[in-house]
Amino acid sequence: MATKQGSCFIYNVNVVLEQEVLKGGVWIVGNTIQAVVPASDEKHWMEKADVVQNGNGGWLLPGFIDMHVHGGFGGDFMNADSDSYDRITKFHASSGTTAMLATSMTAPKESIEAVLAATAAYREGDMPYAALIGVHLEGPFISAKWPGAQNPAHIREPQLEWIKAWQEQYPGLIRQLTLAPETSGATDAISWMSENGIIATAGHTDAVYSEIIAAADAGLSQAVHTYNAMRGLHHREPGTLGAVLTDDRIHAEIIADGHHVHPAAIRLLLAAKPADKVILITDAIEAAGMADGDYELGGQAVCVKDGVARLREGNALAGSSLTMIGAFRFMLEHSGLSAVEISRMASGNAAKQLGIYERTGSIAEGKQADLVLTDAAFSVLRTWVQGRSVFEA
């Protein structure tokens, strides 16, 4: 394990760089990648390091960045307590996630503010597992026509004054906010957010094509869980989906688990969107990493059967039990893309969208040592966050 004083050399791996795979290793000093080393030079660097890690011919990937995750291993961000946050970040670190946004649900204002307060407090601590880099507010400013697994009782029209007050109290904490762009007040909120460092995202929306284009003109730059909980594509009214597929200003999140979106629809998305505009997410809930059974999401009863989560009332899909390494493997099997291309969708694209690519999201000299080591079949063996080993199988 690398420390601020020590060094670690990970060798005998397929290093997934931004544009290629290099057989060799990575030298870490403290929390920083100091060198990416070809196999021919490994012996020299092994002699320099305090700790060496034999990758045994596996893969070394940039740590995954999950922009849309509600929970995991029995923890829910809406619980707004450090125990839940530890459970979530520890579990997802074991699946290769090194950074995430604590994602809320449509809920009463005071419940959302509790999440903001708890996340801000958690970030002031050591964050021993995956890093919480901010909050993603999913709702409550969504469409009652497309609630999905959100609680309709708490849906509100966009309240820009709330957003301004939250930003003033917790500067920079809210990194992403999902709303329905067609609702009253949404355009003003989108414009303000785009000018103040918050990613304005379309989701749970009944917007027609022209409304999404107008929202993109105002600064909208992302769509949550593309295909799900949004107006679909029609050849005479392309709808929300048509705008997402065709407007390259909009990044498209995708849940690659085979339940939320058919593999053919994922391939359609990949054919339509530039590769740097697709972002893998989990939308994971507290049931991720747990057995089938009864759970909650945003105060609503959820039943998980065969790993698929649905609301007990109405049977709507209710988030997922997906992990980022699971999404990575699914894409390898069904998308036709290479590990390098999928890595960008699991790490680099989110880092660029969040404005943190200069320090994380790829393996390069001078960047944080946010890394995940897998075996040849892409099962996670070890995860490092800023050079600290936070998981070992």
What separation in angstroms does the CA of 60 have from each of 17, 31, 56, 101?
A: 9, 16, 11, 23
Copy the structure tokens of residue 9: 């050399």
Print burial letters for 142-165: b (CB count within 10 Å at least 16), e (below 16): bbeebbbbbbeebbbebebebbee
CB within 8 A of 7, min separation 6: which ones? Answer: 27, 28, 29, 30, 34, 48, 49, 50, 51
Look-up: residue for tokens 């946004």? 101
**Residue type for position 48:** K
CB within 8 A of 320, min separation 6: which ones? Answer: 255, 257, 259, 260, 282, 283, 284, 285, 288, 308, 309
80: three-class secondary structure by DSSP: coil
Write out the DSSP string of 173-192.
Answer: TEEEEEE-TTSTTHHHHHHH
Q: Are strands 7-16 and 21-29 parallel, antiparallel or unpaired?
A: antiparallel
64: three-class secondary structure by DSSP: strand
Q: Say which of 66, 76, 206, 283 is annotated catalytic.
A: 283
Active-site residue 276, yes or no? Answer: no
Whether residues 171 and 224 share a domain: the answer is yes
Rounded to an integer, what is the distance from CA 383 to the centroid of its chain? 16
Q: In this structure, what CATH number is given to the domain that contains residue 83? A: 3.20.20.140
- Confidence (pLDDT) at 1: 44
Copy the structure tokens of residue 183: 């609702």
What separation in angstroms does the CA of 236 have from each of 162, 186, 203, 232, 350?
A: 37, 25, 21, 12, 32
Copy the structure tokens of residue 256: 């690659």
Q: 361 near 16, Cβ under 8 Å?
A: no
Whether residues 338 and 367 share a domain: the answer is no
- Confidence (pLDDT) at 374: 98
Whether residues 25 and 96 share a domain: the answer is no
Whether residues 119 and 38 share a domain: the answer is no
- Confidence (pLDDT) at 6: 82
CB within 8 A of 271, min separation 6: which ones? Answer: none
Q: Which domain holds residue 293?
A: 64-354
Whether residues 366 and 289 share a domain: the answer is no
Establish if 301 belongs to a structural domain.
yes
Whether residues 326 and 207 share a domain: the answer is yes
CB atoms within 10 A of CB 229: 25
Whether residues 75 and 149 share a domain: the answer is yes
Whether residues 57 and 75 share a domain: the answer is no
Whether residues 42 and 116 share a domain: the answer is no
Establish if 2 belongs to a structural domain.
no
Copy the structure tokens of residue 116: 């903001």
Whether residues 104 and 25 share a domain: the answer is no
CB within 8 A of 183, min separation 6: which ones? Answer: 141, 142, 143, 157, 158
User: Is residue 382 within a helix (H) or strand (E), and if so which, with residue range?
Assistant: strand 380-385
Establish if 275 belongs to a structural domain.
yes
Query: How many structural domains comprise the chain?
Result: 2
Whether residues 282 and 366 share a domain: the answer is no
Look-up: residue for tokens 């490092």? 384
pLDDT-flagged residues of the chain (< 70): 1-5
- Confidence (pLDDT) at 4: 41
In the chain, the largest separation of any two C-alpha atoms, in whole Å, equals: 65
Establish if 1 belongs to a structural domain.
no
Whether residues 347 and 374 share a domain: the answer is no
Q: In this structure, what CATH number is given to the domain that contains residue 387? A: 2.30.40.10
Q: Please, which residues bridge with residue 155 across strands? A: none
Look-up: residue for tokens 């990493």? 289
Residue 324 has phi, psi (to 5 degrees) of -65, -35
Closest CA to 85 of 129, 52, 151: 129
Q: 95 near 325, Cβ under 8 Å?
A: yes
Q: 343 near 61, Cβ under 8 Å?
A: yes
